[in-house]
Amino acid sequence: MSEDSPEAIRLRNVMTDRLVREGRMRDARLEAAFRAVPRHLFIPKIPLREAYGDQAILTKQIAGQPVSSISQPSMIAIMLDQLALQTGQRVLEIGAGTGYTAALMAHLVGESGHIVTVDIDEDLVTGARAHLQAAGYDDGRVQVICGDGASGWSAGAPYDRVILTVGATDIAPAWREQLKVGGRLVLPLDLRNNGVQFSIAFDRMDDCLIARTFYPCGFIRLRGALAQEQTESAADIAAGTDVGAAILSAVSQLLPHVGEQLWRRHMNRQAFGRATLDGLLLRAYPVDTGYQAAEGEVVHDRRWTRFVVRWADAAG
């Protein structure tokens, strides 16, 4: 195992202290995971100080376009808070990347839990396995699979939680079907396919998924079967993701309260048409169920999903 030096431990604690101070994590268990998992071992070629900065770091490009990164720590904290992991749970992650988020989740679910993380590129899978081993998470709690994330991983189903660390415009049937009723799906969703993503936590009911929390974000898009659901060019997607992440990062650092609220109001309008999401009701039905929208509801159809938007103050 690579050495977890005193300086690495110090920087990791500084990073975690900052996330707690800024309100990014409220759960003591999540805080303990961030203090325990050595992030630098998942990006071994990156200098320590940069590894523990609050920034996403690009880890792979294809033809000059970004296809994989290690996510910004504050965004990971937000999404894991949305995921609300419990000891002993089984989790499916789409987008293994470096393996860092899988390690954090393994810490949270404990020895009785299990993480399956899927990535489409063999080199990323090989790297994630090596990083997990270096960090001490090669004890069977994390299984790294090479495959198309749109198919999930049925051999490990059913799952208590499913999380995507890549952006999507649809909810693949596999993610819904492999998730237990009462389980939770968290994913960066571009509802209007206009480049504006929100990390949304959906709870699975018998007939649909119901959204519970929303947070603006910017992630590299899913590749494979779901890539054809995107209408923007690869260059536009990459530029939008980079600019959005840069603005959010700059606003958070310079104006940690007022600035971020202004940015969120702007993102809310872009995605949902209102500055505040108070009263927003979002449900996701399999498109073949033929759900018919009621008065006051707005429908966004994708290949596999009918998203239904309603506001609590809508008529009907």
- Cα 245 from Cα 267, distance rounded (Å): 12
Interval 19-64: pLDDT, tens: 999 898 989 999 999 999 999 999 999 999 999 999 999 999 998 8
**Residue 131 · residue 42 · CB < 8 Å:** yes
DSSP per-residue letters across 239-303: HHHHHHHHHHHHHHHH-TTHHHHHHHHHHHHHHHSSS--TTEEEEEEEGGG-PPPPTT-EEEE-S
| Beta pairing partners, 233 | none
Q: What CA–CA distance (Å, rounded) separates 308 from 292?
A: 9
Judged against a pLDDT cut of 70, whether residue 315 lies above it is answered with no
Is residue 316 assigned to a domain?
A: no
Residue 134 has pLDDT above 60, yes or no: yes
Task: Give the pLDDT band of residue 15 (cuts 50, 70, 90).
Answer: very high
Residue 140 predicted with pLDDT over 80: yes
Q: Residue 1 domain-assigned?
A: no
The whole-angstrom separation of Cα 34 and Cα 74 is: 11
Question: Is the pLDDT assigned to residue 226 strictly greater than 60?
Answer: yes
Whether 265 maps to a domain, the answer reads yes
- Please give the tally of structural domains in the chain: 1
User: In which residue are the tokens 């649909």 written?
Assistant: 208
- Amino acid identity, position 83: L
- Asked if residue 192 has pLDDT above 80, the reply is yes
Report the alpha-carbon distance of residue 77 to residue 244 in Å, rounded: 18
* The pLDDT of residue 233 is above 70: no
| Owning domain of residue 58 | 6-311
64: domain CATH number is 3.40.50.150
Which residue has 């995921």 as its token pair? 83
Contacts (Cβ under 8 Å, ≥6 apart) of 199? 75, 78, 79, 82, 186, 187, 188, 189, 214, 215, 216, 217
| CA R_g for the chain | 19
Domain-located, residue 93: yes
pLDDT digits over 234-292, tens only? 344 444 444 444 444 444 444 445 577 888 898 999 999 999 999 999 999 999 988 99
Respond yes or no on whether the N-terminal peptide bond of residue 47 is cis (omega within 30° of 0): no
Find out whether 195 and 240 touch, Cβ atoms under 8 Å.
Answer: yes
Residue 201's pLDDT band (cuts 50, 70, 90): very high
- CB of 309 within 8 A of CB of 282? yes
Q: What's the pLDDT at 313?
A: 85
Q: How far apart are the C-alpha atoms of 2 and 302, rounded to whole Å?
A: 45
pLDDT bracket for residue 2 (50, 70, 90) = very low
Nearest to 236 by CA among 190, 195, 288, 282: 195
Task: Give the strand pairing for 305-311 and 114-119.
Answer: unpaired
The residues that are catalytic are: 71
- Report pLDDT for 93: 98
Average pLDDT over residues 160-187: 97
* Contact (CB, 8 A) for 185 and 201: yes
Mapped onto helix, strand or coil, the DSSP state of residue 308 is strand
Question: Terminal CA-to-CA distance of the chain, rounded, Å?
Answer: 61
* pLDDT score, position 262: 85
Bridge partners (DSSP) listed for residue 66: 61
Average pLDDT, the chain: 89
The answer to whether position 82 is within a domain reads: yes
Q: Mean pLDDT throughout 169-188?
A: 97
Rounded Cα distance between 220 and 242, Å, is 9
Does residue 1 surpass a pLDDT of 90? Answer: no
Q: Is residue 181 part of a domain?
A: yes
Q: Amino acid identity of 236?
A: D
Which residue stretches of the chain are H helix? 6-21, 28-36, 48-51, 73-83, 100-109, 122-134, 173-177, 234-254, 258-272
Which residues are paired to 41 by β-bridges? none
At 145, which amino acid appears? I
Spell out the residues 6+ positions from residue 237 whose beta carbon is closer than 8 angstroms to its own: 195, 221, 230
**More confident call, 158 vs 257:** 158
Q: What is residue 168's three-state secondary structure?
A: strand
- Coil vs helix vs strand at 190: coil
